[in-house]
Chain A
Amino acid sequence: MTTIAVRGAERRLLEGSEAIALASIAAGCRFFAGYPMTPFTEVLEHFARYLPEVGGTCINAESELEAVGMAWGALATGARAATGSTGQGLSLMQESFAEITLAELPLVIFNLARGQGDYFQATRGGGHGDYRHLVLAPVDITEAVELTQLAFHLADRWRNPVLVYGDYLTAHVEESVSVDPIDFGPVPDKDWAVDGATTGTGHAKLLSPLGLARFGAEPIGIEAHLRRIVAKQHEIERAEARAETGYLDDAETVVVAFGSPARFVRSVVRDLREAGERVGFVRPITLWPFPADAVAAAAGARTVAVFELSAGQLIDDVRLAVLGRAPVVGIGGISTDGSGFGVGRLLDVETIRDRVLAVHRGGADAALPPLPDNERTLW
């Protein structure tokens, strides 16, 4: 029995990084390339350990640029392939991300982010041009196992990159999970994949972001090509938005949060409800397409509060969805540990509850308790 069969199928205590690697392999991923960077490094380590067991390839690339290039090549052959990093490393890969989207290749990208300040990078696309990636934000390891597999499915279904947004907790917390393969249904054939077989036939394939057509074929043109990709993305927007909501019906205050922090917010909201407070929550699962309808439903509340570990990025999309029907106030902030890689003291149930109660009782203009400081520094 191979290690992957044992560690995947049984319910075990698995670190998130390991669960993500195993879930990818369960989804058929057979290529991964990455460059070490905290808190993503262990994802690369687990891929390096498990991919060879299933005949796949993991390359410890010399830089992030090589990593995304190698994944591009693997995708071109029709394989399920992924890369990843933390925000800084993904910054380096942005040109390739944009062009891979235009070449319509199904790349899966893992961001094990340092906090939630990569929201803009993930949802606006940190690269150039009118491109979008689907973005899935798991709340815990169990959901990460599901969303990782969904990522590969959606990437193939739409021929568009999908980014999975995790963080330090996603990577390093251990949870009891079993990595069961999930069947999301059929995906289109990859008849565009290159293998050399059509070389010399007069109908060789060309995988290009530039909207070029082969001599003798109907010209496409870059403008038509770009517009067609945008039209596809509009279709994705209509079809793939996902959110979890709770206690919205009579909520006076609704808290919006995504990812690991949303787990804390959900817990706070439940506790407050038990104490009789009329609060609710919306947890976007897809950051793009943003579940605007679910958030708009919160606009019946008196106050919409946004909790995020950043200076305020998710809040822009919440404001757009609410469209002025209710005041939107940020109750999060920058909070990190001494290394800058992890989580800070703001991510704490008591602290979050105090901030929610402040706006619940005082409205959008209420004074918030001061942000807790990080006590330790790296040096």
Chain B
Amino acid sequence: MTTITSRGTVRIDTEACKGCELCITACPPRVLTMGSDLNRAGFHSPLLEPGCTGCAACLFVCPDFCFEVYRYDQPVVTEVAS
């Protein structure tokens, strides 16, 4: 098991997402991936993996105002399988 530290996290409005995937490329620690669920409009929306820094790059590049960005008071550690 290894641990990944997240200094930040996001709330994603998946129903607003139009599946453009700009956030996936924009995220510096690469912790966003597109999920397989479809929202009401028929688009895939992003999922968050551990390691977010709270830099808000996703919020900056999202055309549909899907992201709310947070920074933890204390970094959160997630255990993942190696």
Do A and B contact each other directly (Cβ–Cβ < 8 Å)? Answer: no
Which B residues form the contact surface with A (CB < 8 A)? none
